[in-house]
Each structure stands twice: as structure tokens, then as C-alpha cells.
Amino acid sequence: MARGDGRLSHELLPGEKGPQDECGVFGVWAPGEEVARLTYFGIYALQHRGQESAGIATSNGEQILVYKDMGLVSQVFDDRALESLKGHIAVGHTRYSTTGSSEWHNAQPTLGPTSRGTVALGHNGNLTNTVDLIELIRERSGQDLSGEMGRGSSTDTALVTTLLGLSEGALEDVAADVFPMLEGAYSLVFMDENALYAARDPHGIRPLVLGRLERGWAVASETAALDIVGASVVREVEPGELIVIDADGLRSRRFAEARPRGCVFEYVYLARPDTRIAGVPVNAARTEMGRVLARENPVEADLVIPTPESGTPAAIGYAQESGIPFAQGLVKNSYVGRTFIQPTDTIRQLGIRLKLNPLREVIDGKRLVVVDDSIVRGNTQRALVRMLREAGAAEVHVRISSPPVKWPCFYGIDFATRAELIANGLSIEEIRDNIGADSLGYISVEGMVEATTLPESRLCTACFTGRYPVPIREGATISGCEMPGMRDLVPGELPAPEPASAS
């Protein structure tokens, strides 16, 4: 049963969006617990990973129910909705989509038939071989999904759900056969009537962790979600691993060799600061990025201020390393977010001002170091520099705790197309001039990697280097949950493959 009553939407004031992760996933197997409520709190903790739709599926051992809608987790669910979702197994999902694809049909978990029941599935990531998968489905079932681009059945999540329903046998065995056919990034949490499943692509590009409840198990995109529901972190779901949790306990099987290449941008921006990925505290990594940034890009100034809140840990690190005092020079309106209305340039600039407002008494007459996590198109930084100068800043020096973003992501982050990325066509000095700053400095790729304490060979740095760990096929899309043809590279241009020596 799918529920979509009300079509709730969050009509928020407009502003330029930054890099967005596609989804957050959560699952729980816990007889005797209110699994829908646990899942509600789990996906609430993952709200930053997707703000356009939310959904929960539950099973009582005989029937799967799904409730999903457009909007934030708190908008989609109330006590009545959660009370209706009975059972001992649950899967939850929060979703972010690209412009034009914010539709109820694309909300997750997806639901589909299998040879022995039903599957409900949530996905974080992006598949890069969807054209091949569409052809495989056509060959096996006669279904032609090639004409469904942009509609609900066209998401790569729906393709996986369909593939899981095309083979005879236990879902565990079918999944172990299907997943090696998938290319790209995928962290999956899914269920049938009797079991909870979790799987991660062989490179482990998107995070996924396993936790222990007093009377069950939980899986989540981030450790912070496990913390909030009272689950103790056991370990990460390994790249290329399929986990099954049912009445017989927990078991694991490997469907592919592990070749870890976790997304470095999780450490820069995407993940919550109170999360740990690959054993590394994200907040500590961001603070260290700020310290490295200060060593690589020093400047004489009076104050270090962050672009709240994503720039705060790096700004603290920059202040600690440089000895320049840290201050909160900008106030963020937490209730301003993404809009479903397509804004004009004038309204977009107004939206940025509505998000951030300078504290004039703090910055008037001061030489400022403004620390942010990234520059994508440059619109936010341009408006920010202008605001700070209008508020009396004597100098504005912008420091970025990631390298220049020059390549799009094919593994589940919604960056701009390569043609829209400001760093792709301009030098650092030209970008500085474009945004109106007195100086501009980025952290180096080597410095960013060093701050994570992980070797570069275990990280995906494709958006900075153009070296993609999974080959990108012609027609693959930049953002997750979309089908080919929606948002491609510059026509005829494919990114550089990952050198064999770095695999």
C-alpha cells in the first residue's frame, strides 16, 4: 500500500543550492520495537542528505506497507501515519533530486514484486550503466523502459527493484546475482516480508554502517543516525558485501571483491560533522582541513569567520593554525532552504541574503578571512563578498577547504554540469576577480587527503581530479536517481579514467 496524501511540499525562500547528496537510507530489524518510529528518527537524523521526499516501509511478516510523500521528514509523517506502519522490519529513505524530477513517483522506498513476495528498497548513489540495465530488463521481461526517462519508473532505484523481481529464488540469492551487474555507486537498504538486507558497491563510494540495538539491528547511511536511535556502531558494511538479517540472525556474503574508494566530499561537506566514516571523525577531518588551509594559504587579517554552518569546523582549524581570532560574523536563517519555484537571478540573490546576514558590529573595519567548504558556480560567494563589503569589511579574503571542483559527480552528488563549474574555465585569480574577493585560496588535493588520515588510494577524488574509479559510459548522468540524457557532460566529452596503478 503506497500512501501519498496531501502532497506536502516545503515552499522555502529561494537561494543557490550547493552540492547535494542524493539520499539517506536507514533500516531496522527489531521484533517488539516500534520500528516505524525508530526509522522516523533515523531518517530525521539523515535529513541533510535529502530534503525533497521521505518514506518508510514496514513489514509485519505477511504484508509490506509503504508511506511516502514530498517534503521534509517532519512534514510527511505524523503520529497517525507512524501508528499505521506496524511490523518488526522497516526501511526508511530521504531523497534529494535534481530540478524537474521532484515528483511523488520518484520518492522511495520503491516497491516491487519478487518470485516469493515483495521487495521495498531505498538507494543512495547513482548507477552509471543504466542503459545496459534497461536492455537487460527488456531481454528478460519484454519491458521497455527506454521511453520512460524522467518519469517515476525511470529512476535507477526502480531499475534495481525491477531486476530483483525478474529471477526465481530467495531474494538473498537473487540480490547476490544482480548486484555484480550494477556499475557506479550504490548503498542499498531493502527488505522483503521476513528479512532486512543491506549492500554496498565494491568501491564503497557512499557510506553505510551497521548498528546493534538492544533487541535487533539497524543500518544507516551515517553513524549519527545510529547514535540517535540508541544503536551502538558495530562496523561499516564492507564494499561488495551483502548483509541479511532475519529470525536466524545476521549473516554476510560477498558478491564482489572490495576495492575501497570512499567519497572524499563526504568529509568535506556532505556528512554530518558528528559522523564517523571509515573510522575517521568527520568534524576532526574538517578542522584539520582548516589547519592545512591556513598553512597553504596564509594571509594577514583581523578575524576568521565561517560561512555557516558547513564552513565552521574548517574556520576553527584555520583560526587555530594561523592565530587569527575566530568570530561568528554571519547569522544563518535555518528556515531558508531549497525552493520548488524556479527563481530569477534577482530573487536568487535575495534568497542568499535571506539565508545569511552579516553582524555589522563584528566585521565593520575588519580584514576578514571567510572560510567555506567549496565553490561551485560562484554565485553564493559573489553575493557574500558584496554583503560583507556593504557591512563595512575592510578586506575579504576567501579560503576554501576543498580544491577547485572541476569535474561533475556520477556517483550520487548533484554538482553542476562541467560547463557550469566556475573552476573549469577560470584560473584561481580569475575566480577571485569574479567573486570580488581581495584574495582567494583553495586547499590542495594532497592537503585535503592528508586531513582525512586516509591514503588517496582509498578515496574517490574525481570531482577534483577527473580520475573516476568506475568507468563512465557514454550517456551516463551526472546526478543520482536520474536516467540517461537528463544532465550530461559537454557533448562528446567523457571524463578521464582512473589510472590502473591507483586502483
| Class of residue 312 by CB neighbours under 10 A (exposed 0-12, middle 13-18, buried 19+) | buried
Query: Any binding-site annotation on 373?
Result: yes
Catalytic residue among 12, 23, 91, 225: 23
Cβ pair 233, 254 in contact under 8 A: no
460 labelled binding-site residue = yes
Instruction: Report residue 432: phi and psi, to 5°.
Output: -55, -45
- The answer to whether 114 and 46 are in contact (CB under 8 A) is no
The response to whether 372 counts as a known ligand-binding position is yes
Give the Å distances, CA to CA, from 264 to 210, 232, 458, 460, 462: 20, 25, 9, 6, 9
Q: What is the DSSP letter of 237?
A: P
Under a CB-based contact definition with an 8 Å cutoff, are residues 198 and 171 in contact? no
390, with CB counted inside 10 A (0-12, 13-18, 19+), is exposed
Q: Is 439 annotated as a binding residue?
A: no
DSSP assignment letter at 226: H
Was 263 annotated as part of a binding site?
yes
Q: 23 an active-site residue?
A: yes
Residue type, 197: Y
Query: Is 481 part of any known ligand binding site?
Result: no
Burial class (CB in 10 A: 0-12, 13-18, 19+), 501: exposed
Q: Any binding-site annotation on 463?
A: yes
For 141, phi and psi rounded to 5 degrees?
Answer: -125, -15
Please list the active-site residues: 23
User: Known binding site: residues?
Assistant: 263, 310, 372-373, 409, 460, 463
User: Known binding site for Mg(2+): residues?
Assistant: 310, 372-373
